[in-house]
Structure 1
Amino acid sequence: MKKFLYRSFIELAGNRALSRVLSHASGVKSSRRLIQSFAHTFQVNKEEAALTLHDYDSLHSFFTRSLVEGSRTINHDPSQLISPVDAVLGAQGNLDAHTAFQLKGQTYTLEKMLGRQNAKHDYAEGSYFVFYLSPAHYHRIHAPYDGAVRAQKRFGSKSAPVNPAGLKMADEPLSRNYRVVTEFETDAGPMALVKVGALNVNSILLTAPENEWKRGQEVGYFAFGSTVVLLTGRSVEAFHCEEGEEIHMGSSISQLNL
């Protein structure tokens, strides 16, 4: 029952007014009384958290926690693409001639997801990865490769669920939800990191003001659970993870076609 209530709090769709109410509720000091229960319910690895549970002043601050230094190992091999988040790998594959991919019975085109008509020119030979972050996951987002940011835009205003049921039942939530799209140029071609909101329309916060990204660098975080889509402009030579696999930020997810 507790898991259902917590998951509903984090993942259910909401309008702007409800989002504000829930955001405020998780940020007040009295919400710190829920931290122990939340951590136990979702079996959060407390040893990795930068602070002890008693040191967080709200449920929100615990949910957006940093990790103890050294908790994640960054693969710095330039031939490897790393995971930008702790997550379950929901889907991966190569893009078709229309720069689209299928997920849970729905077709996603990059023109809609990235918010520009000429996206196919950059990603026609590319690959895609979809990462699902559960309530238990570390919710900070990191650069998957070295690169120079060329565009960063926000799209959408409302958010449908992006859990497995939401991806199946909602109308293309990955390309209709509130989202922050960052496109960046790398030595391995263009890439895009799409941070998709799930509940709170203002839940995606950016933390990298500079335009030069280094792999493993923190670039933002979710205030509530959500999904990340990573796109590459070149197809990868080999996928290193299976769909449904639990992966850590910094670990290799594929070998790039350099």
Structure 2
Amino acid sequence: MTWWQHIIPQHALSNLMFRFARLENVWLKNKFTHWFVKSYGVNLSEAVRENVEDYQHFNDFFTRALKPTARKIANSNIICPVDGTVSQADKISHATIFQAKNHYYTVSALLAGDYRADQFDAGYFATIYLSPKDYHRIHMPFDGELVSMDYIPGDLFSVNKTTAEGVTDLFARNERVVCYFQTEFGLCAFVLVGAIFVGSMQTTWAGQINPPYQKEVQHFDYTNQDIKLKKGEELGRFNMGSTIIMLMPNQENCLNLIAGQTVRMGEALI
């Protein structure tokens, strides 16, 4: 049942959540966060700050840092960039990506027609969903040099399994941020997909990307800024949960992932 998502004011509701998540009223923040931890089974023993009372507001808790020992970075060429559940992972066939059930979308649509989309037409993709209880910082799966970033406006449908099976072109319709990195594997793209109540994404080099919400694609060029990130370093974070999509330019580096698999940041993927 996804019909209701077509009629609700997605961006207005996400704006309200953005504000609520940053309220510093101590009683409200603590009450809601305690409820959230209990309801979703959040493991706070992994966090640098284990007590709910130590967070400034709910978003501070939601984007919490983990202890250095909580996630080990595997000694492999590619690691998992997030905690989450694999929605889909497979070869890209005829420039088309499998979404769910009978739903597919094109690489070009996902990247808003970017001229580099054809580099992934016969590549590999992995879509990973971050649930509310997951760790919501995003880390580099490999060493890379930032080339550019695109902010692409769009809808804010939920990105859970039910919606993925019911909304056509979901990930190519939702608001998203695309980061392009030059790597040893060639040009790779990293797509941060927004969702309802997830109208805010940020990167380590640009800070908060949204809100405010824009009506046109925003392009940021970093070719002359020498921004290099090492495998395991933080790339960005979701202010509330969502989905990431990794695009690689060839099928020689098929990742060791299957749909439905639970993954943790730092695990070896190849």
TM-score bracket, normalised by the shorter chain, equals: 0.7 to 0.9
Cα deviation, residue 197, structure 1: 0.3
Matched, 1:27 2:22: yes
1:43 corresponding residue in structure 2: 41
Q: Which residue of 132, 140, 143 maps to 1:146?
A: 143
Cα deviation, residue 117, structure 1: 4.8
- Please tell me whether the aligned partners of residues 198 and 240 of structure 2 are also in contact (alpha carbons under 8 angstroms): no
Specify the SS of the correspondent of 1:136: coil
Q: Which residue of 88, 92, 96 maps to 1:91?
A: 88
Cα deviation, residue 240, structure 1: 2.2
Q: Which residue of 122, 126, 129 maps to 2:123?
A: 126
Specify the SS of the correspondent of 2:155: coil
Q: What letter corresponds to residue 230 of structure 1 in structure 2?
A: M
Q: What are the within-5 Å matches in structure 2 for residues 56-67 of structure 1?
A: 56-67=55-66
Distance in 1, Cα, partners of 2:197 & 2:32? 19
What whole-Å deviation, never above 9, does each CA across 1:8-57 have from its counterpart, x for those lacking one?
Answer: xxxx9743222221211122122231111111111111111111222112
- Please tell me whether the aligned partners of residues 49 and 67 of structure 1 are also in contact (alpha carbons under 8 angstroms): yes
- Please tell me whether the aligned partners of residues 127 and 234 of structure 1 are also in contact (alpha carbons under 8 angstroms): yes
Q: Which residue of 202, 206, 229 maps to 1:205?
A: 202
Distance in 2, Cα, partners of 1:192 & 1:95? 14
Distance in 1, Cα, partners of 2:170 & 2:158? 7
Cα deviation, residue 181, structure 1: 0.2
- Please tell me whether the aligned partners of residues 140 and 233 of structure 2 are also in contact (alpha carbons under 8 angstroms): yes
- Please tell me whether the aligned partners of residues 113 and 175 of structure 1 are also in contact (alpha carbons under 8 angstroms): yes
State which drifts further: 208-217 or 40-49. 208-217
Q: Which residue of 153, 157, 181 maps to 1:156?
A: 153
Among all aligned residue pairs of Structure 1 and Structure 2, give the percentage whose two residues are the same amino acid.
Answer: 28
Q: Report the CA distance shift for 1:16/1:239 in structure 2 as closer, same or farther (over 3 A).
A: closer
Length, aligned pairs only: 240
Q: Which residue of 93, 97, 101 maps to 1:101?
A: 97
Q: Which residue of 223, 226, 244 maps to 1:228?
A: 244
Normalised to the residue count of structure 2, the TM-score between the two structures is: 0.83
- Please tell me whether the aligned partners of residues 75 and 252 of structure 1 are also in contact (alpha carbons under 8 angstroms): yes
Distance in 2, Cα, partners of 1:229 & 1:89? 10
Q: Structure 2: where are the runs of 5+ without partners?
A: 1-6, 207-225
Normalised to the residue count of structure 1, the TM-score between the two structures is: 0.86
Distance in 2, Cα, partners of 1:32 & 1:146? 38
Q: What letter corresponds to residue 60 of structure 2 in structure 1?
A: S
Q: Structure 1: where are the runs of 5+ without partners?
A: 1-11
Cα deviation, residue 241, structure 1: 3.0
- Please tell me whether the aligned partners of residues 49 and 66 of structure 1 are also in contact (alpha carbons under 8 angstroms): yes
- Please tell me whether the aligned partners of residues 16 and 201 of structure 1 are also in contact (alpha carbons under 8 angstroms): no
CA RMSD of aligned residues (A): 1.9
Distance in 2, Cα, partners of 1:215 & 1:14? 38
